[in-house]
Structure 1
Amino acid sequence: MINTVPHPSSFLQPEWVKTIRQDAFAAEQAGMLQPQQLELVYEEQWFKLLVPKIYGGLEMPLPELIRLEEALSWADGSLGWVITLCAGAGWFGGFINPEAARQIFADPKVCLAGSGASTGTAQQLANGYNINGHWRYASGVRHATHFTANCIIQQNQADVLGDDGSPVISSFVIDHHQAAQVPAWKYIGMMGTGSHAFTITDASVPANRSFTIDASSAVIDTLLYRYPFLQLAEATLAANLSGMSQHFIDLCGPVFEQKLKESERLTEKDRTVLMETYASIAAQLQTARDAFYQAVDASWTAEIEDEKTAATLLYPVSTTSRQLARVARESVDKLYPYCGLRAAAPDTEINQVWRDLHTASQHALLTFEAS
C-alpha cells in the first residue's frame, strides 16, 4: 500500500512562504530573485543542498531533497527552479578535485549556474585549458559565483576523440568574472529565474577545474554521489512541475468557491461538474505524487550494484517522473477553462503559476517516455 505524501506546504515554514511569495512579481519584473528571497536562500543554505558536507554543504539525502524542492516550487516556480538547478550544480562538488572544490565552496553565497549543453571547446594547454563557447538557459545566472559548462576537448585545434570515435567532452567550473552574461530569457513564464545565456572567451582554466560526472569518478564516496545523475535530474525536475501544479490547484479552490456563490448562470449540473472535476484532478495529482515518491524512496534505500538492480529500482524513477510531469501539465490544463478571465490576467497569481508551469514543462528531459 502506498502511503500518501503530505501536501508540499508541510515541508516549509509559513514565514518562508510569505517571504518567497511577496516578492514573486517583483522577481518577474527584475528577471532575478529578490534580495529578501536571496537572504532566505543563503540563510537556509538552499544553494548548498547537495554540496558535500566536507565543504560546508548540507549533502541532503535524495528523498528529503525532492520533497523540499517540490515545496519550494509550490511556494514559487521561479525560486524553486533556480534552487533546483543551482543546487544540482552544487552536486558536482562530489566529483571536483578537492583542492578546487574547497576554493569554490568557501564562499558562503556560492551559487553555480550553467548548462549541460556541449557548446564550448576546451583547448588543452600545458597546465590547463583555454575555454571558449556560448551556453543558453543558465538559471540563476544573475547571482552566480561560478559557471558550469560542458566543453569538447581539443588539442592543437582538433577535437580529441574517444575510443568510440566521438569527441571527448568534459565539464568545467569557471569563475563568474571569466564569463559574460547575455540577456536572452524572453519567455512567458519562469521570468524570475533570469535564465539568460553566457559566453566565455579565451578563459584560462586550471586543469583541476575539469571533472567527469560518473559514479566511478566521484571523489566523495557517499551514497549521494553514487546515485545516477539521470534519475537525480529527472526526479528533481518532475518535483518542480508537481509543486507548481499543486499551487495552481490550491488557487483554484477559492476561485471555484466564489464562482459557485456568485454565478447565477451555473446550473446544478454545472456546479456538480465543477466540483467533481476539481476533486478528481486533485486526487489524480496526489496519486501520481505517491507513486513517484515511492519509486524515489525505494531507489535511495538500496545500493545499485548490477544491471538487474538498476532496472528494478531506477527505471521506476524515470517512468514515474515522466508520469508526474504529464499529470501536472494535464491537471492545470483541465482546470484552467473553469477559472474564468482571472486566470488569463498576467497580474494575478494564478496566471503567473499557469505561465511558469507551461514554461518549465517545456524542458526536454521529461518530454518523451523513458527508454
Structure 2
Amino acid sequence: MHPSKNLKPEWVNIIRAAAPEAEQASKLQPAQLELIYEQGWFKFLVPQAYSGLQLALPQMVRLEESLAWANGSLGWVVTLCAGAGWFGGFLDAGLAAEIMANPQLCLAGSGASTGTATITGDGYTINGTWKYASGAHHATHITANCIIKNGGETVLNNEGEPLILPFIFDKKDVRVFPAWKYVGMMATGSDAYEVKDLYVDKNRCFKIDPQYTVVNEPLYRYPFLQLAEATLAANLSGMAVHFLDLCGPAFEERMKNPRLTGTQKEYIKQLLADKINLLNETRAEFYGAVDNSWNSFELDGADGLQRVSSMSRKLAKVSRESVDKLYTYCGLSAANPDTEINQVWRDLHTAGQHSLLTFES
C-alpha cells in the first residue's frame, strides 16, 4: 500500500508547505508542530495510562513510513521522539504521569553513553555532552545514557562492564547548542546538548529491560533493538517512495529531450517500473516480518525478531540503491538543492548513515 493512504491530503499539504522554511530554520515549523500535537504523533508509544496512543508496532511503523514519505525530517523527528516516548513503559509511574500528560510532550535524546551519573545521596549528579538529538528544539524533556559512577570509581554490571543507564531530564536543565551541519535532514535540528553538575532524584533513572517494565503491556516487552531497526528502516522506505514518486514527472521532462533515443527512453521507463516493483516487494516482505514478529515474539523466541532485523537492513539497502540507480536519470534538477527531489535525496542519504542500518547483518 502506498504510504499516502495513511495520511489525509490536507495533512500532507501542511507538512510539505512548511518544509522549505523548516530547512532554512533548521527545525520544524509551528504549522507542522500544531498538526503533530493535534494528532498525538509524538505520543505513538506513550502508555495509554499516561494519555498516550500506545499503538501496536505494525500500526506505528506504517504511520512512520507515511510521515517520512510526506517529509523526511518531520518523519524522522516524530520517529525518534515517539521512540523515546516508549520509555514511559519503564519510568517511575508517578514521574511518568506527571511528565507525559503534557499535550505537547516531546522527548528528544541520544543513545550514546557520553555522560556520567555519580551516585549522590538518594540521586545522581549528571555531567556530559551528547550529539544528534533530533527534535531537541521542540523537546519538553531530554533523555541520555550515562556511565554510573560511585565516587571516582565506575560501577560495573554483572558482566564486569561499565554500568550504563538512561536518565530523563527537564528541558530547562539542559543546554542545547548548534552542532548539526549535514547535507540532509536539516529540519530535524539534531543538535547537541550538555548537562553540567545537575542533581536528579533516583526516579529520573530507569532500566530498559522487560523485567523492569512498569506498564505490563506487550509493547513494552517487545525488544528495543528490533523496534528501533524497524522504525528507522520504515523512514528510509518512506523517503525512497517519495523519491520514486518524484521520478515520474522528472522522467517525463527528460523524455522531451530530442537527443534521447527511443531505446534510452524505454530503458528509463522500465528502470523506474522495476525499482518501484522491487521496493514494494521488499516493503511487503518487511511488513510481513514486522507483523509476524509482533504477533508471536513472546512465543517463538529469537527467530521472528531476527527476521525483523534482517528485513530492516534489506529494506534500507534496497531504498538507498533504488534511489541511487534512478538519480542518474533525473536531470540537473535533482542536483539543485532548492528542488523537492534533491531534498528527498539529501534526506535519505543522511538518514541512511545511521549505524543500526549500515551493515546488512
Q: 2:81 touches 2:106 (CA, 8 Å); kept in 1?
A: yes
1:62 and 2:57 correspond:
yes
1:346 and 2:337 correspond:
yes
Secondary structure of the structure 2 residue equivalent to 1:314: helix
Task: Measure how far apart 1:163 and its partner are.
Answer: 2.4
1:39 and 2:30 correspond:
no
C-alpha distance in 2, partners of 1:259/1:68?
Answer: 33
Secondary structure of the structure 1 residue equivalent to 2:301: helix
Distance 1:324 1:303, change over 3 A: closer
Task: Measure how far apart 1:325 and its partner are.
Answer: 0.0
Residue 283 of structure 1: aligned partner: 277
1:304 and 2:298 correspond:
yes
C-alpha distance in 2, partners of 1:56/1:161?
Answer: 36
Task: Measure how far apart 1:107 and its partner are.
Answer: 1.3
C-alpha distance in 2, partners of 1:234/1:310?
Answer: 18
**Aligned letter for 1:170?**
L
RMSD across aligned positions (CA)? 0.7
Residue 97 of structure 1: aligned partner: 92
1:119 and 2:114 correspond:
yes
C-alpha distance in 2, partners of 1:173/1:159?
Answer: 20
Task: Measure how far apart 1:339 and its partner are.
Answer: 0.4
Alignment of 1:166-315 (within 5 A): 166-260=161-255, 262-305=256-299, 309-315=300-306
Q: How many residues align?
A: 361
Q: Specify every segment of 5 or more residues in structure 2 that has no aligned partner in the other structure, as ranges.
A: none
**Aligned letter for 2:349?**
H
C-alpha distance in 1, partners of 2:202/2:282?
Answer: 44
TM-score (norm 1): 0.96
Residue 314 of structure 2: aligned partner: 323
Secondary structure of the structure 2 residue equivalent to 1:290: helix
**Aligned letter for 1:16?**
W
C-alpha distance in 2, partners of 1:351/1:303?
Answer: 39
Task: Measure how far apart 1:303 and its partner are.
Answer: 4.1
Secondary structure of the structure 2 residue equivalent to 1:59: coil
Q: Deviations over 1:116-170 (max 9, x none)?
A: 0000000111121100000000000011110000001111121111222211111
Alignment of 1:135-154 (within 5 A): 135-154=130-149
C-alpha distance in 1, partners of 2:21/2:153?
Answer: 47
C-alpha distance in 2, partners of 1:210/1:200?
Answer: 15
C-alpha distance in 2, partners of 1:182/1:159?
Answer: 28
C-alpha distance in 1, partners of 2:306/2:165?
Answer: 26
C-alpha distance in 1, partners of 2:270/2:190?
Answer: 38
Alignment of 1:64-79 (within 5 A): 64-79=59-74
Residue 124 of structure 2: aligned partner: 129
C-alpha distance in 1, partners of 2:14/2:59?
Answer: 22
Residue 161 of structure 1: aligned partner: 156
Secondary structure of the structure 1 residue equivalent to 2:131: strand
Q: 2:297 touches 2:305 (CA, 8 Å); kept in 1?
A: no
C-alpha distance in 1, partners of 2:342/2:353?
Answer: 17
Task: Measure how far apart 1:198 and its partner are.
Answer: 0.1
**Aligned letter for 2:160?**
G
C-alpha distance in 1, partners of 2:151/2:90?
Answer: 27
Task: Measure how far apart 1:310 and its partner are.
Answer: 2.4
Residue 346 of structure 2: aligned partner: 355
Secondary structure of the structure 2 residue equivalent to 1:32: coil
Q: Deviations over 1:35-80 (max 9, x none)?
A: 0000000000100010000000000010000000000000000000
C-alpha distance in 2, partners of 1:314/1:123?
Answer: 35
C-alpha distance in 1, partners of 2:302/2:165?
Answer: 27
C-alpha distance in 2, partners of 1:337/1:32?
Answer: 30
Task: Measure how far apart 1:257 and its partner are.
Answer: 1.4
